[in-house]
Amino acid sequence: MYKFKGIRAESFAFMRNLKVNNNRLWFQKHRQEWEFLKDELQSLCRELTPFINDLDPELETEPKTGRTLGRINRDIRFSADKHPYRESVDLLFFHRSFGRTKAPGLAVGITPIDSYIGTWLGASMKDWRQRLIANIAAHRDVFQEYLEQNDNFSDLSLRSKSYKKTQVKGLPPLAHQWAQRKYYYMALLLPADKVVSMGESLLEIIEETFIRLYPLYLFATSQELAADLERFHRKFEH
């Protein structure tokens, strides 16, 4: 079984070359490179599993394709992009009672140029969005303080779209911004060469980033937010 030692430069090179040669013939000739990358990600998942279980035992950690590990093949039946392969591949840690893309979660993945470590609430996740809004409204001061402590995640990349109509009146400024979001994809982006030089110490960065983002995940998913936040703070904040 492969032990995680980091993401190799060859793995990023494979992703860059796949972007340029996104066809089945090229992929079949270079399948072994994909198998090496898949082994790296699955070993990363196994190394992260004890931490993830401690963070939230309800999160999926099975290192199989279609569970935590994303498929490199694109389902072109339902995609406007008809290239057969994706330009990124990731590990998603989501509530195991739901499908891989049916609920918010935590993610780590690679693209041709970088690695991302983040969280998301997808555009189609209406029920989860309503839970986020309800939790922000009920715990507005807690949420505002969390955002202030993290400088509103200004060091992370954010892709989002917001409602024009106010969703909850009377919120503090930063809490108001987040209650307005229809969806978000937020991540720490690390350039490929930096990731390669980190080796296995990438694990520490992933864990630190997931700890920062986990309260946001709870605001989007928890039905007992106060209790879940208290449990988290007892374990991870010293």
**What does DSSP say about strands 89-94 and 105-110: parallel, antiparallel, or unpaired?**
antiparallel
Q: What pLDDT is attached to residue 7? A: 96
Residue ranges and CATH numbers for the domains of the chain are 9-236 (3.30.930)
Whether the pLDDT of residue 1 is over 90: the answer is: no
Q: What pLDDT is attached to residue 58? A: 96
Cβ distance 211 to 236 under 8 Å? yes
Cβ distance 94 to 105 under 8 Å? yes
The model's confidence at residue 153, banded by pLDDT at 50, 70 and 90, is very high
User: What residues contact residue 154 under an 8 Å CB cut-off, 6+ apart?
Assistant: none
Structure tokens at 118: 């983040």
Whether the pLDDT of residue 74 is over 70: the answer is: yes
Whether the pLDDT of residue 136 is over 90: the answer is: yes
Whether the pLDDT of residue 222 is over 90: the answer is: yes
List the Cα angle 44/153/224 in 5-degree steps: 75
Using CA atoms, how far residue 78 sits from 74, 88, 111, 114, 165, in Å, is 9, 18, 22, 27, 31
Scored b (16 or more CB within 10 A) or e, 112-121 reads bebbbbbbbb
Q: What pLDDT is attached to residue 238? A: 58
Q: What pLDDT is attached to residue 34? A: 97
State which amino acid sits at residue 188. Answer: L
